[in-house]
Amino acid sequence: MSEERFGLPGSESRAGGVGSEPLSGLSEAITFPSGTFSTGEERFGLPASLGYAGGGIGGIMPSLPSAGTDGLYMEPETITVDIDFVGSASEDVTIPIGSEVRFLIFGRVYIDEDPGAPFDHWAQYTFYNSSTMKGSEAYYRNVVKMAYTELEVATTGSDANITPDDHTVFAEQDIARFLDDGEMVRLETIADTLIAEDVVGAHPIDTGISRVSEFSGITLFNMDGDSSTYLRMEFGSSKTVSVKMELVLVQ
């Protein structure tokens, strides 16, 4: 089972995208206009030039505002969300985001406490734009493997080797997080002894390790005129496990 997201991947270039191939019934592919536009022309009600000298966005907003002021502010903010399962299969969380719309540039979700035993289960989490959390109000959904194991051999602090009790809960390019100090490392090779991309710190035997799921490229928003978004996380059956989600946002 692989991780999935709402929507389809897109191309940021014209190669393989719209216009690269002729449409049915047309003799040639779509062509795009070239050349420059006069700064006096408008597109969608805005001046054509976006530069500071052209009277566009840069002309009406000559500098970025500082923190705590109105307007565009791109300083990243990290919001931490605790999702605690105590003999439950589903948990709902209200996430205050400070405004009706926030851009998420990066997110992570992982087990942050020892669940008392090895853990390897699929979970689904969904973001909703309303407190009623109906299916039609879902705007992002992901299916992820939540996994926890422990070190079989202590790490040395001088190499990239990690020997866990169970290496099969990880895959190449996963991030592994050590519970003793929160260190995160990206895995390069999956075998009985995992090899990380970088030197791993020193961690004693039996230190907990969790798999970190990553996501990005979504906008958190609220359609109730409020400043919160809503999250539901679900397992296939009741679990007792502590999960943490980190959201890196900009205004």
Q: What's residue 251's pLDDT?
A: 77
Q: What CATH number matches the domain at 77-250, 2.60.120.960, 2.40.30.20, 3.40.630.30, 3.40.50.2300?
A: 2.40.30.20
According to the per-residue pLDDT averaged within each range, which of 24-38, 47-61, 83-97 is highest?
83-97
Asked if 85 and 91 count as a contact pair (C-beta separation under 8 A), the reply is yes
Residue range(s) occupied by CATH 2.40.30.20 in the chain = 77-250
Task: Give 179's pLDDT tier (boundaries 50, 70, 90).
Answer: very high
Alpha carbons 236 and 13: distance in angstroms, whole number: 39
Q: Which residues pair with 230 in a beta bridge?
A: 94, 128
Rounded percentage of the chain residues whose pLDDT exceeds 90: 69
Q: How many alpha carbons fall within 13 Å on the CB side of residue 203?
A: 28
User: Rounded distance, CA 125 to CA 141, Å?
Assistant: 6
CA distances from 87 to 90, 91, 106, 188 (A): 9, 11, 30, 35
208-232 pLDDT per residue, tens: 999 999 999 899 999 999 999 999 9
Predicted confidence band at 75 (pLDDT cuts at 50, 70, 90)?
confident
Quick: pLDDT tens for 81-136. 999 999 999 999 999 999 999 999 999 999 999 999 999 999 999 999 999 999 99
The whole model's pTM is what? 0.71
Residue type, 78: T
Across the range 226-242, mean pLDDT stands at: 97
Helix, strand, coil fractions of the chain, as percent rounded to 5: 5, 45, 50
Rg (C-alpha) for the chain, rounded Å, is: 23
Q: Give the pLDDT band (50/70/90) at residue 56.
A: very low
178 vs 36 pLDDT, higher one: 178
pLDDT of 58 over the 70 cut: no
- Contact yes or no for 209/170 (Cβ under 8 A): no
- Name all contacts of 130-137 with Cβ < 8 Å and 24+ positions apart: 130/222, 130/223, 130/224, 130/230, 131/94, 131/224, 131/226, 131/228, 131/230, 133/92, 133/230, 133/232, 137/223
